[in-house]
Structure formats: C-alpha cells, structure tokens
Chains A and B, each alone.
Chain A
C-alpha cells in the first residue's frame, strides 16, 4: 500500500542519488553554465540594483571628480608650495598617478571576460558553491548602504571568482584594489582594469599627492556607491593558507567617510573563499622554500595553461553576515570630533585607528570562522604526523576523529553526509594523487611532487629540498585547519609538557600568553582578547578534550594528557621547533656568549642563514620536521621577536639591520625548550654548523 504511505511525497529517497546542486545552504553556480548557452549568459540583460543615493557615473567621471576634489586640490597646492614645482607639473603628476591607478570598469569587457572565464572555470573546477543567504543579504544591503567586500586571499582566482559571482547574481560588479604586480602584464593589465581592478602601489610613504589621489579615489566611490569596493585585508595572497595579519591602510581609507559623516553607514562583508585544491600549490611550495616566484607576465600566464587539464575540485564562497561600521563603533568613538576642520584635511583619530585595527582582526577571524574545511585538510593533518605512511583503515579512523573535534570547535567541515567515510576519504586521496601514493597494501604515503617549470634542475634534484617540498605542500592543506585548533594547542602544549602533577590556571595562562605573543605573526589573535580566548578554550577542553580541573582550579596533569591533547600539541610542534632553531641561530651570531654584542644582519640575510642552518640540521638528521625550512615560518619568527623587543632594529644609511639581544633570546629559547622536545645540541655546535653549511655552499 505504498500510495498510502507518506513516502509518496518523497521524490528521491536515496541520498546518494541526489545531485549536488544544493547542499547545506550552498548553491552551485556552475551547474547552470554546463547546461545553457554561455554566449547567451554573457550577453543577457542584467537587472542590477545600486545604492539608493548613487548618482550614476562612468569611470571617466569618477576620475574627474577626484581631480577637482577639495582633497586633491589642497594636496596640489601644498606640493607646489613645498617642492616648488609648477602647477602644470604637479597637475600632470596627479594625472599620471590617477591614470596608473584608475579602473575602467565597463560592461562589455566584463561580458567578454565572463565568456572566456566561464569556459576556463568550467574546466578547472567542478563546482562553485555560494551561500545563498549571504547573497540575499548582500542584495538588500547594496541598495541601502555602501558596501565593502573583504575576501580572504589564497589565490589569484579569488579576484576572478568574486567578480564572476557578482556577475552571476546580477549584483553590481565590484571594483577591486589590486597590487601593481599585474599592471605590467601586457593586455592582462588592461583587461583587469576594464573589469574593475584598480592598482595601488604597495608602499607610498609620505607622497602627499599619491595619498590624496588614492584616498579620494577610494572614498568618492565608497560614498557615491558607484560599485562595491573590494580589497584584501591580508594585503597579499597567503602562500601558506594561514590567514595573514591584517593591513589596515586600505581599510582606513575606505571607512574614513563614515567617521567624517560622508555616508550614513558602511557595510563590511567578510568573505571566505575556500579551495579544495589551490591553483598555485606548486608555486607556493617552492616560493616558501626560497625559489623566487616568476614575475607576473602574460607569457608566464600562457605557459601555465597546462594546468587547464587538471582538476581543482570545488570552490566554496561564503559571504559572512555584514558588519555595520556604525554598530561596530557605537559608543567607542565620537564622530563630531571631525566637525572642527575641513574634512579633506584632517586624518583619523587615534581611537578610530585602534577601532579599525580591531575591526580588521574581526574580519579575518570571521573569514576563518566561515572557512569551509575540506576532508583533505583533515587527511593532510593526519598525514603530517605520520610521515612514514599510514594504513588506510587507520587513516579513516583518525580523520573521522579529527572531523568530530573540528566540528566541536565550530569549524564547518565539507563532509558529504550521504557517503561512507571510506568513500569520502578514498575519493579525496585520489583527487590529491599528485601528492601521495596508496600502495597495494593500502598504505598511504606522501610522495615527491613535480616542481614547477621555473625551478632549476639542481634544486629540484636536491633530496632535502624535494622532501621538504612534499611536506610543505601537504602543510598548505593542514594549515587550513590550524586556526581551529591553535588556541587549544596553546593550552595543551604547556599541559603536556608539565612535569608536576598539577598546573595552576594562572601559570597556565602565563604560558598561554607567552605562546600567543610569540606566535602572533603566525596565527591571528584579536588584540586584548587573550583572557577571553583562554577561558573559552578551557571550557571547550573540559567538555571535549578531557582536560581535568580540580576544585582549587589546578589542572590535573596525568588525567589531562590523552590522545586529544597530545594530537593537538604535536600538530603545532613544528612551529615551536622552528622558532627554537631561529633562537639558536641568533645566539650563534654572538658565538654563544650571551654578553657579547652579536653581529647585525639584514632581515633577509638572517632568513636565508637560518634556512641554511635548518638545511644542515635536516641533512644531519638532527631534526626531522622538513616544513621548518619554510621562509615564511622563519620570517614570522624573526618579526615576532622584533615585536617582542628581543631583536632590535637599527637603521644604517638605507637598510634596516636586525640586532638580537642574546640574553633575551636565550630566555625565549629556554621557555620553548620547557614546552617541547628539542635536539640536545649545544649552541656552539650551531655556530660550527653555520660555518660548515656556509662553506659547503661556497
């Protein structure tokens, strides 16, 4: 009597037979493109709604309004007075700055690009998933307030898929702040400009004209709502898949209009673009190991077309709930402070800058929160701890376990509910078969990767480098998971390394704070939230990680050391070890004498020498974590030591030199030693190492 059962309402009962167009709030925008005409799609009429107070302008009119603006005129006058240039020269300077900067967004170029792009994207990717709720919100918001889009930046693809997305949903196409790298590319530079990219120099110090033009150019578009403004708060593509510390220059320029009451509010939309497989994985890997990236060029781009035959899986784009700058700043700042001088002259107040820095961190943390974690990231995390390979069965067990832990921490794992775990994991392993092998005995192992074309033969043949490349590439995916667990690890590391029976919460917090400080270039921590984060983690660990706290608020060490805490600690061990090696390198500069003044070095030289040292340690088998070779890790360690005042910066004529303070360095090294296992090698040995490796290279 099936017709009487309620099942008649169900069209498809077998979950494995359902398509993947929709899932869990996400919609695939590529599916439709596979069934209908791309040409018609690119030429269709678009019904776009803009900001309610917008006066329609074309790119030329935007440039004109920048030229005639009070701010730019004022800067021109100042420059004429200060440098004695003629008005014509100065105006010409402004013109050339503006020509270099401005986009030339026009729909016909966008349609052309959309046509080509959709062909390429369909070959590269299986699906592009977008959270529908986010799109709905943006659709309404864009009419009400100026909108600032702040996507995460992992790949060049970010820029393209964002515009593609807005084209797809009939939303106004964003204008995007891009670095100058692309501008030099023949044809491509122009094409990007026509599709809304505008180019900003990486640094322009105290160039008054440039500041004025840049500020006005961004702000006039913000206020009039010509288009949503898009930029990457991380400043550049993260090569490691970890979020980068925010740069707030562009954020300041775009939000200043709110503080100066040029517009009623500005909506900031953090966006996370998550990739199953990153287009640049090879390039990044070698770049991190110190092989310079090839300069962006059109011919380079054409050479790279071989990737078109590869499969890069899915992209997930999540538009997070918008942050209203009005709500965010409510009660924290007084906007009327700006009513006492012309708005184009004064700059932001200290309070406002602090607030924006805070906001930048919130944006990055929001991006992290909405990251879609692929099963591969879980697999990579397990594989990184089992460099000698792991049985498939065991891998499945570990990955499933890790998935639960990640979910418990609030991470969103893209795990298809209608497939068996074995199936999920095996398909992901096959998908990443360029990085691993599965033997006939079902042993899963990382394998050597094929280096990109610009890497010379000698480097690619070097066994240490190629092993490191294999590890670093896998770590790119493991890194997608680290932000979920880093705070937990900062508690488990002191717990696991504690030699007493109990550890007081206070001293735990002290160690937590130390770790947060030293790792603050490596991971994103909201300034001023240390205690809050710590307390949250304690609760979480008690509930899910077996942390035991007695009545006197002491951690019971024996009960608290378990699989969970150990896994977390090991996950982050390479970082601590890397930082420790950096400390040893710095100490070696003084020949092991803590009172001696060590040799000053330029930052870059320090990075390279540290890397050499690590190479030596790896080849001697003294350390086994190849990923430490990453220049990013070494650089972060040095920067963080500068932040902590352990390395002082000295300006000599033109260059900045780093001078380590050996006593402080040795204290830091000792603290790290107390938390994690390090090789039992003496500092003086390191000095000899360095000499050895350097001579070896010579």
Chain B
C-alpha cells in the first residue's frame, strides 16, 4: 500500500499483504469485452448489444436479431398473439424512440478548471464527450430508459474518468475532495436503484468514475481458493477468464453480461446459483474501498473474524454513497464437471410453493430452483422459437396429453419450477433423484431439461423484450422482494391483484400483465420476483402512472411482510437516511459504554 500525500487521507487498517507468493497464479491482462466507448457496442436507449433486439419482421412475426444468443435469428411465432392477448398491444399503434441525442440536446458540462488541470497532470484518462457522459448518466430503470426514448436529462455527469488502478482511484477521489467536486462511481451501468442518476440541483462539477478499465484479475490463490480482482471487471469476463484456469465464482446475477464486480458489492447483489456459491456477501473475503476519508479495508483475508461489526457490511449495499470499491478478493470454486437443467410441472402455484419450502427445509435445493407462476409459464411458452429442437416443449404431443388428460393438469393453472444442478455427475444424479422425489409428494411431475433451460433463457432475454414493448406503448419493469415462507403465497396473490387493480383504477384501457416467480429459496423464506407491464395507450404520463402503481405494489409488499428489496437495492434517498441513522447510533452510543 502506498501512502498518499493528501491531508484528508488517513488510511484505515493499513495492510501489508506480506509475502504470500505461494501458489499464486498471476493472470495476463486482457481488454474488457465492453469497450471504453460503450456506445460503439451497446444501445444508447435500451438494453444490451446493438446487434440484438426483438423486432416485428415483415411477416409481422416477432424475431430476435443477431447471432449472439441461442435465440438469435429465430422467429417466435406465438409471441405476437401473446402480446396482443395479454397486454392488448396492436401492431398498428407503434411509437418510436426519439432520434439519438446530440451534443446540443445534452446539458453543457460544468467545468472545474483546477480539477481538470490536476487530473491532466496526473495523467488519468478522462473525457467530456457528450456521448461518453450520456452513457454514464443513467441506469436501467423504466424512468431512465423512458427519458432516453422520449425526453431529456436535466443533469448528467460533466466528465468521465477511467482510472486504471486502485492508486488512480485514490488520486481521483483526492482531487475531487481538494477541488470540491462530486464523484459518482460507475460500473456496468445496469443499476435499477437510481444510484447513478445525477442529483438535479447539484451545481458542482460531477465526475462519473468509470471502473471498466480496472478489469484485471490480479492473482488467483489456489491454496485458499480465492481470486483477487479489480472491481471493474464485468461478470462475463470474470467467469470466462477464471474458467480458463478451471475455476469459477459461481456468482451469476441475471445482469452478469454487463454488471461489474464492484457494482455487485455496492448493491449487495445475489446470483442465481447462490444455493451452492452464496450471495455476494458470502463470497467476499476482502474489499478495498476508497472513501473521501481514506482507504478502508481489513488487515487480513480470513474466512471469518470477530472484531466489531463487519466493516464489509457497511460497504455492501452502499450504492456508491460511501466510496469507490476498487479491489475485491473473492472465493472461487473449481468448475463443476456436470451441469444439468431440469424442470417440474405442478398442478398449481400453491403446491409448487409448498414443494420449494419442503426442499428448502430439507436443505437439498439444487444450484438454482425457481418456480414460475402460470402467467410466466405462458409467457415462456410464447417465446418458443419456430425451428429448434433445443426448445421443443413438453406441452406438445404425447406429453401434453399425458399431463392434461391422464394427470388432469389444467394448462391455465399449472406452475413450472426450473432447476439447475451442478456438481459431479454422481452428485447431480443423486440431487435430481431427491428433488424429484420430494416434488412427487406435492403433485409435481418432471418436465424435462428443455423447459428448465428455456426458463433461464427467459430471464436473460427479458430485458430485451422490454425494448420491444416500448415500441408498442407498453411499459414494463421488474421488482423483487424477500419474504418469509408463511407469507409467500399471500404476497404473490395480493401484489398481483393490487397491480391489476391499480391499473384499473387509473383508467388503463387494456389488460395489465403481472407475473411472479419464487426465484430463490432460503431456510426461512424466499425471494419473489415480479414482472409487471401495461399498455399505456391513451395515457399522457405513463412513467408517472407506472411509478405510482409500483409504489402501491411496494406498499402491498411491505403490508404482506416482504422487504423493500432482496437484491435490486434501495433508492438512494432512502439509503442515505439509513446510513445517517446508523451514524447517529454511534454518536449516541456513549449511553451504553460511558465516555472514555
């Protein structure tokens, strides 16, 4: 650790890493998949890559373009009908995004010349190009994307800097303190908590600190099974590069193609396979965070310690309000030899939830287990591509007959659990056996691997589908919650009902779409994930209406014993309230231990 010269910098828990050279694998540097100029590869006003999007082709069928994903280049013949029936879209009523914003449409940067001067002297890469700034002005909430498509940002970052190391971050933060400018850390830009939105009335210069160039895996420690990485590395690069050495972190949030390691820490992220690998807080061994008061880190890399409240838990979920996460030591695991999808069909959602609860109780959940409600099952079904053996469906042919006629399942009531098993092939086989046995007690029938895989594909492409919705007056968003088992069913039903009802009360003319899935299981509860969409044709202020409806849905969640969020994170204003509350507790604590 280098000491910095700035007065305000005081290092907390200065670390000397010592001479741990043993069995450390160092990794060569590679350019990140997402380039510095994100606009060259990514959409400016929507989700993901420019080459991949849902379109309505000349035959008026929905098609997914490009060749990046398994679904790419395929037509989904039933999707159009599903959209017409479920959300009431009409192909004749289309609304296109405004043309790409030019420099003239974007607020001129506020410049702090002294800061810029020092930054240049420090030779840290930066830019005030309007596109660079615009790309870092937003996350992916409905509100933000809608501004991109229809409106203007009143405040965006004035500058983008790309530090390439921990030390450069220290330098940038130090300069910002010195010159009284603002820093907003930026990782993968997939935030859904408004954490990277600029405060409207901030008159100081705002710098977006883009960590994407800090993408190195600094070392891998095979003996302790840890990897030390820079925080700007994005999920897909991290897994791909660890995979080259036979390892993985197993942390797979749905946004992993774009989101960064530092972002996961800052939002308290959760990955799909947390049952095996844990959530981000379980994966982290060590963190470095640069704050305006100095660098915060622990002085050792140990599996657990007791020396007061865990400082990591202050950084986790701080949404960039306390500092910049620069380096992370993560647990790693050998890449499993066997990976297998699976699915279970339940006669109804209630029995599915009971089954998941039993699986959680017996602690035999596979790497991932998710239970989709009927609406989501139908949705997934509508995504079935035209010609692909990969995506054949169990409700076709004989199996459909078996399920409906012999087993008496009602296709408008069934719920489907998707499974992902990981481990050695023996482990997977025995896990499978146990899970399907439990499922049988709850009326569940195995539904085949393809359905499982399609379920997971759905969460990958759903963000793209939202952009297609926008084209047809549909606004859509997801939100999630964490809830005790005894409340899961009531919460799912009540929240969906509330969404539909709020739509009706607000004069929305078309059927609204609300669906949920139990997406994670724990001993004492589950994470429930909602998708919600409605057709706003006839409304003048869809985003406001959406936000009101979402707010009431969140009220409903709280009333049903759920939490404000499981992994998306909390809005920044609320978060700051929490943090100041904790600080005030500390200040008051002399009551408990006396003044020293």
A323 nearest CB across to chain B (Å): 15
* Chain A contacts with B in 314-351, Cβ cutoff 8 A: 334-336, 338-339, 342-343
The answer to whether A263 and B561 touch across the interface, beta carbons within 8 angstroms, is: no
The answer to whether A335 and B559 touch across the interface, beta carbons within 8 angstroms, is: yes
* Chain B contacts with A in 530-565, Cβ cutoff 8 A: 556, 558-562
* Chain B contacts with A in 471-530, Cβ cutoff 8 A: 484, 486-487, 490-491, 493-494, 497-498, 501
Residue of B nearest to A257 (CB): B490
A262 interfacial contact with B, CB 8 Å: yes
**Chain A residues in 8 Å Cβ range of B484:** 339
The answer to whether A262 and B561 touch across the interface, beta carbons within 8 angstroms, is: no
Mostly helix, strand, loop or mixed at chain B's interface?
A: helix
The answer to whether A336 and B493 touch across the interface, beta carbons within 8 angstroms, is: no
Instruction: Out of A53, A264, A336, A342, name the residue touching B486 (CB < 8 Å).
Output: A342
A691 interfacial contact with B, CB 8 Å: no
Q: Determine the distance from Cα of A557 to Cα of B556 in the docked complex, in whole angstroms.
A: 55
Q: Determine the distance from Cα of A62 to Cα of B558 in the docked complex, in whole angstroms.
A: 29
The answer to whether B498 and A264 touch across the interface, beta carbons within 8 angstroms, is: yes
The answer to whether B558 and A336 touch across the interface, beta carbons within 8 angstroms, is: yes
The answer to whether B560 and A261 touch across the interface, beta carbons within 8 angstroms, is: yes
The answer to whether B493 and A264 touch across the interface, beta carbons within 8 angstroms, is: yes
Instruction: Out of A263, A334, A336, name the residue touching B490 (CB < 8 Å).
Output: A263
The answer to whether A336 and B497 touch across the interface, beta carbons within 8 angstroms, is: no
The answer to whether B497 and A261 touch across the interface, beta carbons within 8 angstroms, is: no
B334 nearest CB across to chain A (Å): 41
**Chain B residues in 8 Å Cβ range of A262:** 490
**Chain A residues in 8 Å Cβ range of B494:** 261, 263-264
Residue of A nearest to B563 (CB): A339
A580 nearest CB across to chain B (Å): 51
Known: A342-B486, A343-B486. A336 touches B498 (CB 8 A): no
Residue of A nearest to B494 (CB): A264
**Chain A residues in 8 Å Cβ range of B487:** 261, 339
**Chain B residues in 8 Å Cβ range of A265:** 497, 501
Q: Determine the distance from Cα of A339 to Cα of B487 in the docked complex, in whole angstroms.
A: 9
Q: Determine the distance from Cα of A343 to Cα of B485 in the docked complex, in whole angstroms.
A: 12
* Chain A contacts with B in 245-272, Cβ cutoff 8 A: 261-265
Q: Determine the distance from Cα of A74 to Cα of B25 in the docked complex, in whole angstroms.
A: 58
Known: A338-B561, A339-B561. A261 touches B486 (CB 8 A): no
B310 nearest CB across to chain A (Å): 25
Known: A342-B486, A343-B486. A261 touches B561 (CB 8 A): yes
Produce 1/0 per residue, B432-451, CB < 8 A to A.
00000000000000000000
Q: Which of A261, A265, A338: most chain B Cβ within 10 A?
A: A261
Instruction: Out of A53, A261, A342, A343, name the residue touching B559 (CB < 8 Å).
Output: A261
**Chain A residues in 8 Å Cβ range of B558:** 335-336, 339
Q: Determine the distance from Cα of A40 to Cα of B326 in the docked complex, in whole angstroms.
A: 81
Q: Determine the distance from Cα of A342 to Cα of B498 in the docked complex, in whole angstroms.
A: 23
Residue of B nearest to A52 (CB): B497
Q: Determine the distance from Cα of A600 to Cα of B224 in the docked complex, in whole angstroms.
A: 86
**Chain A residues in 8 Å Cβ range of B560:** 261, 335, 339
**Chain B residues in 8 Å Cβ range of A53:** 493
**Chain A residues in 8 Å Cβ range of B490:** 261-263
* Chain B contacts with A in 557-593, Cβ cutoff 8 A: 558-562
Q: Which of A334, A336, A343: most chain B Cβ within 10 A?
A: A336
Residue of A nearest to B483 (CB): A339
Q: Determine the distance from Cα of A265 to Cα of B556 in the docked complex, in whole angstroms.
A: 11
B504 nearest CB across to chain A (Å): 10
Q: Determine the distance from Cα of A262 to Cα of B497 in the docked complex, in whole angstroms.
A: 12
* Chain B contacts with A in 158-172, Cβ cutoff 8 A: none
B498 nearest CB across to chain A (Å): 6
A348 nearest CB across to chain B (Å): 14
B557 nearest CB across to chain A (Å): 9
Q: Which of A263, A264, A265, A343: most chain B Cβ within 10 A?
A: A264
**Chain A residues in 8 Å Cβ range of B556:** 261
Residue of A nearest to B491 (CB): A261
Residue of B nearest to A335 (CB): B559
B140 nearest CB across to chain A (Å): 28
Q: Determine the distance from Cα of A335 to Cα of B494 in the docked complex, in whole angstroms.
A: 13
**Chain A residues in 8 Å Cβ range of B561:** 261, 336, 338-339
B144 nearest CB across to chain A (Å): 28
Q: Determine the distance from Cα of A367 to Cα of B497 in the docked complex, in whole angstroms.
A: 29
Residue of A nearest to B557 (CB): A336
**Chain B residues in 8 Å Cβ range of A335:** 558-560
Q: Determine the distance from Cα of A343 to Cα of B486 in the docked complex, in whole angstroms.
A: 9
Produce 1/0 per residue, B213-256, CB < 8 A to A.
00000000000000000000000000000000000000000000
B494 nearest CB across to chain A (Å): 4
**Chain A residues in 8 Å Cβ range of B501:** 264-265
Q: Determine the distance from Cα of A339 to Cα of B491 in the docked complex, in whole angstroms.
A: 12
Q: Determine the distance from Cα of A605 to Cα of B484 in the docked complex, in whole angstroms.
A: 56
A223 nearest CB across to chain B (Å): 9
* Chain A contacts with B in 633-660, Cβ cutoff 8 A: none
A91 nearest CB across to chain B (Å): 23
The answer to whether B497 and A264 touch across the interface, beta carbons within 8 angstroms, is: yes
* Chain B contacts with A in 413-459, Cβ cutoff 8 A: none
* Chain A contacts with B in 582-636, Cβ cutoff 8 A: none
Q: Determine the distance from Cα of A296 to Cα of B491 in the docked complex, in whole angstroms.
A: 46
Q: Determine the distance from Cα of A342 to Cα of B524 in the docked complex, in whole angstroms.
A: 13
Residue of B nearest to A333 (CB): B559
Q: Determine the distance from Cα of A186 to Cα of B486 in the docked complex, in whole angstroms.
A: 43
Q: Determine the distance from Cα of A336 to Cα of B483 in the docked complex, in whole angstroms.
A: 12
Q: Determine the distance from Cα of A343 to Cα of B487 in the docked complex, in whole angstroms.
A: 9
B508 nearest CB across to chain A (Å): 17
A255 nearest CB across to chain B (Å): 14
Q: Determine the distance from Cα of A334 to Cα of B497 in the docked complex, in whole angstroms.
A: 19
A599 nearest CB across to chain B (Å): 54
Residue of A nearest to B350 (CB): A55
A608 nearest CB across to chain B (Å): 51
Residue of A nearest to B495 (CB): A264
Residue of B nearest to A324 (CB): B501
**Chain B residues in 8 Å Cβ range of A339:** 484, 487, 558, 560-562
Q: Determine the distance from Cα of A343 to Cα of B562 in the docked complex, in whole angstroms.
A: 14
Produce 1/0 per residue, A471-509, CB < 8 A to B.
000000000000000000000000000000000000000
Produce 1/0 per residue, A48-89, CB < 8 A to B.
000001000000000000000000000000000000000000
A38 nearest CB across to chain B (Å): 37
Q: Determine the distance from Cα of A338 to Cα of B487 in the docked complex, in whole angstroms.
A: 11
Q: Determine the distance from Cα of A262 to Cα of B559 in the docked complex, in whole angstroms.
A: 10
B362 nearest CB across to chain A (Å): 21
Q: Determine the distance from Cα of A335 to Cα of B497 in the docked complex, in whole angstroms.
A: 17
**Chain B residues in 8 Å Cβ range of A338:** 561
**Chain A residues in 8 Å Cβ range of B493:** 53, 264
B449 nearest CB across to chain A (Å): 32
**Chain B residues in 8 Å Cβ range of A343:** 486
B559 nearest CB across to chain A (Å): 4
Produce 1/0 per residue, B47-63, CB < 8 A to A.
00000000000000000
A419 nearest CB across to chain B (Å): 44
**Chain A residues in 8 Å Cβ range of B491:** 261
**Chain B residues in 8 Å Cβ range of A261:** 487, 490-491, 494, 556, 559-561
22 interchain pairs (CB within 8 A)?
A53-B493, A261-B490, A261-B491, A261-B556, A261-B560, A261-B561, A262-B490, A263-B494, A264-B494, A264-B498, A264-B501, A265-B497, A265-B501, A335-B559, A335-B560, A336-B559, A339-B484, A339-B487, A339-B560, A339-B561, A339-B562, A342-B486
Known: A261-B559, A263-B494. 17 other contacts (CB 8 A): A53-B493, A261-B487, A261-B491, A261-B556, A262-B490, A264-B494, A264-B498, A264-B501, A335-B559, A335-B560, A336-B558, A338-B561, A339-B487, A339-B560, A339-B562, A342-B486, A343-B486
Question: Which residues of B are at the interface with A, using a C-beta cutoff of 8 A?
Answer: 484, 486-487, 490-491, 493-494, 497-498, 501, 556, 558-562
Question: Which residues of A are at the interface with B, using a C-beta cutoff of 8 A?
Answer: 53, 261-265, 334-336, 338-339, 342-343
In the complex, the 6 A-B pairs of residues with the closest C-beta atoms, listed nearest first:
A339-B561, A335-B559, A264-B497, A261-B560, A336-B558, A264-B494
